[in-house]
Structure 1
Amino acid sequence: HPRPAPRHALAYSVLGGNIGGAYHWGEGPGGWWILDEPEPHLGGDVLVPDLAGWRRERMPSLPEAAWFELAPDWVCEILTPSTARVDRVLKMPIYAREGVNHLWLVDPELQTLEVYVLDTSHEKPHWLLLDSLEGDAPVRQPPFDAIEFSLGSLWDGG
């Protein structure tokens, strides 16, 4: 597939570093596997989110296969004009159906972050928008609310 545009690549590299440093590599709370472009196989659907995380209590070790049969606990999609429709219309309902509890949508063009949590109180699970952030707002959002970073770092790398 085509390589991501520089803004897209910067946003997901910086976000992965911010979260991965604290939750994956042990510079903070720990307890997560944070991976770039993993391949979860979810109920017959094969999806490749830009970033995904699994709590180590649910997945103590990485699978031997090149894909994951266990749904992530968190996914993040970095939106582009060519992927936004697929991410929102096709992937979000699959993530909800499969029980992914947290979803972040990052839009480098609009410089926004949308934070969703899965609501399972109804027959059909659906997403609730918890927060929308823009520009260089401080980010302290579930499931990674033990840390804070500047949303602006996703746009300028700083």
Structure 2
Amino acid sequence: MGDPARKIPTFEELLAEIDRLPEYLSGEIIEPGVIRTMSRPDAPHRRAARECQWALRGASADVTGSGWWIEQEPAVRFGERLFNPDLAGWRVERCPDPPHGYPITLTPDWVCEVLSPSTARDDRKIKLPHYARSGVEWVWLIDPEIHLVEVFRAERQQLWLVTSAGEEETPRLPPFDLEINLVSFWIPRKPAEPPSP
């Protein structure tokens, strides 16, 4: 006789496991029964997330009293999955008070993922389509390595690339009606070393 099928841990069991992780790690449930642990992000990642949140302050309900509730690294439950987007936003019209609870169960209207070499593949292959299927209308992917922001919009549970911007551009990126200076998102590149004689 073979071994009985391995029991898949419940969402609650996995959440308790994530809560026991050391302070220097964070965890997500990227597939039912599967935890992905990550070390805290490096400087380019932290800078892009921080500057993005700062650039969106003009849309923040905390500042303007209307617009968006924008949260940094909220734990958001999507069915049997738990994602910690770098930033997430809820429209005040749909969510009159800041989202609460742990994990948050109200689907965001917008999420932003800052890509890291260790997580970019899962962010694109697993999280991006799951956001669309879960009702997230807008998704930004920020790549601090190549200085690029991609803006996706969900239609019929599919995400479509609407626009992209990078380097020193100052675009208006949907869904926010703000000019966003992208220069501050990036750690300046070091000039290339001249070839030695």
> Under a length normalisation based on structure 1, what TM-score does the superposition of the two structures give?
0.89
Counterpart of 2:114 in structure 1 is: 78
* Partner SS, residue 63 of structure 2: coil
* Partner SS, residue 49 of structure 2: helix
Counterpart of 2:148 in structure 1 is: 112
RMSD: 1.6
- Is 1:13 paired with 2:50? yes
Residues 69 and 89 in structure 2, CA contact (< 8 A), matched pair in contact too: yes
Counterpart of 1:66 in structure 2 is: 102
The higher radius of gyration belongs to: 2
Taking structure 1 as reference, are residues 66 and 156 closer, same or farther at Cα in structure 2, changes over 3 Å only?
same
Distance 2:100 2:158 in 1: 31
Residues 40 and 68 in structure 1, CA contact (< 8 A), matched pair in contact too: yes
- Is 1:149 paired with 2:185? no
Gaps in structure 1 of 5+ consecutive residues: none
Counterpart of 2:77 (choices 16, 37, 41) is 41
Gaps in structure 2 of 5+ consecutive residues: 1-24, 26-38, 189-197
Taking structure 1 as reference, are residues 103 and 63 closer, same or farther at Cα in structure 2, changes over 3 Å only?
closer
Residues 106 and 114 in structure 1, CA contact (< 8 A), matched pair in contact too: yes
* Partner SS, residue 98 of structure 2: coil
Residues 173 and 180 in structure 2, CA contact (< 8 A), matched pair in contact too: no
Instruction: Provide Cα deviations, 1:77-97, integer angstroms capped at 9, x if missing partner.
Output: 000110101110110111011
Counterpart of 2:123 in structure 1 is: 87
Counterpart of 2:33 in structure 1 is: none
Residues 138 and 154 in structure 2, CA contact (< 8 A), matched pair in contact too: yes
How far residue 141 of structure 1 moved from its aligned partner, in angstroms, is: 1.1
* Partner SS, residue 70 of structure 2: strand
Distance 1:92 1:104 in 2: 9
Structure 1 stretches of at least 4 aligned residues deviating more than 3 Å after TM superposition: none
Distance 1:64 1:17 in 2: 21
Counterpart of 1:137 in structure 2 is: 169
Counterpart of 2:15 in structure 1 is: none
Instruction: Provide Cα deviations, 1:80-120, integer angstroms capped at 9, x if missing partner.
Output: 11010111011011101111000000000000010100112
How far residue 51 of structure 1 moved from its aligned partner, in angstroms, is: 0.4
Counterpart of 1:3 in structure 2 is: 40
Query: What one-letter code is carried by the residue in structure 1 that aligns with 2:52?
Result: L
Residues 22 and 30 in structure 1, CA contact (< 8 A), matched pair in contact too: no
Taking structure 1 as reference, are residues 63 and 54 closer, same or farther at Cα in structure 2, changes over 3 Å only?
closer
Higher RCO by CA contacts (8 Å cutoff, separation 6 or greater): 1
